[in-house]
Amino acid sequence: MATSGRREPLRPLRLFWIYFRIGALNELQYRANLAVQVFQSLIALGTGLAVLGLVYSQTTTLGGWTHAELLAVMGVHILMSGPIGVLIQPNMERLMEDIRQGTLDFVLTKPEDAQTLISIREVRIWSTVDAIVGLSVLVFAVAQLQAGLGLVQALAFVAALLLGGLTIYCFWQIVELFTGLYQSGRWPVSIYPGWLRVSLTYLVPIAFAVTVPAEALTSRLTPETLALAFGFAAAIFAFTRWWWRFGLRHYGGASA
């Protein structure tokens, strides 16, 4: 079990950098994976743009969102896929595999915070391609927006994006369900029926992960919504920490 005591505030970042370098060295042995990732990302982008083009060939707005604004939503969706593929998904999948095989003991006996270690030990650098593609789409979308992008909107976007990433991390315990429902984030939640909009906001937080950052870019985000996103992320992170400790108390590994 991880030892207690005061720790350096930046220690998790240092640990992440160590594991990132190790993961990068491992991934660089298989550079063909980069070509595969680029191909997959471009196919996904092309499909999304084709669907948008089809929708806006029939209408000028969708749920009050213009073509450029929905392009920003798509950009956030693809951008968020980057950290999910680089860090969140591989680590959560490895955690479940360790629990099934009883090999989580090897993490729990290390003198570090166990939840930090299980969250950073797997890094797949080629998935950063999604982040680059998403950022490129966002830059293009912002250039199309009539209102432009001011400093306040940019800061709100960064804050909302970080809160969205934290929320996704906390909810990734149900990988199969979340993986499927995350695809609904390609569209702003405001276009869905009320019951589904509530579900995609609080049960599976697609709204906080994708729509809220996009609202910041398109001058739709209100201080109240950003505060709600912050409060929700803080609450679910606190619950995740409690749930992790609760799970450890009831965990029976290979050495149990």
254 found inside a domain: no
Query: In which band, very low, low, confident or very high, does the pLDDT at 58 lie, cut at 50, 70 and 90?
Result: confident
| Structural domain harbouring 108 | 11-249
Would you say residue 3 lies in a domain? no
Res 254 pLDDT > 60: no
Least confident of 46-55, 174-183, 242-251: 174-183
- pLDDT value at 161 more than 90: yes
CA 52 to chain centroid: 22
Q: Is the pLDDT of residue 112 over 60?
A: yes
What is the band of 156 on the pLDDT scale with cuts at 50, 70, 90? very high
Residue 214 has pLDDT above 60, yes or no: yes
Is residue 224 pLDDT above 90, yes or no? yes
Give the pLDDT confidence score for residue 175 in this predicted structure.
52
Looking at per-residue pLDDT, the higher value among 206 and 255 belongs to 206
Question: CA 137, CA 47: separation in Å to the nearest integer?
Answer: 14
Q: Using 50, 70 and 90 to split pLDDT, how confident is the model at 173? A: low
- Tell me the mean pLDDT in the region 177-199: 67
Q: What's the confidence (pLDDT) of residue 2? A: 42
Percent of the chain scored above 90 by pLDDT? 13
Measuring CA to CA, which residue among 66, 60, 74 is closest to residue 220? Answer: 66
What pLDDT, on a 0 to 100 scale, did the predictor assign at position 3? 44
**What's the chain's length in residues?**
256
Residue 41 lies in a domain: yes
pLDDT at residue number 179? 57
Number of domains making up the chain: 1
143 belongs to a structural domain: yes
Question: Does a structural domain hold residue 164?
Answer: yes
Residue 4, domain member (yes or no):
no
pTM of the shown model = 0.78
Residue 46 has pLDDT above 90, yes or no: no
Q: Is residue 110 part of a domain?
A: yes
Is it the case that residue 5 has pLDDT exceeding 60? Answer: no
Instruction: Convert the pLDDT of each residue in 85-101 to its tens digit.
Output: 899 888 988 888 887 88
More confidently predicted of 252 and 218: 218
Q: Is the pLDDT of residue 23 over 50?
A: yes
Given a cut of 60, is residue 12 above it in pLDDT? yes
In a domain, 122, yes or no: yes
Q: What is the b/e burial string over 139-161, where b = at least 16 CB atoms within 10 angstroms of the residue's CB?
A: eebbeebeeebeeebeebbebbb
Given a cut of 70, whether residue 181 has pLDDT beyond it is no
Mean of pLDDT over the chain: 82
- Please report the pLDDT score of residue 1 as a whole number: 41
pLDDT of residue 253: 59
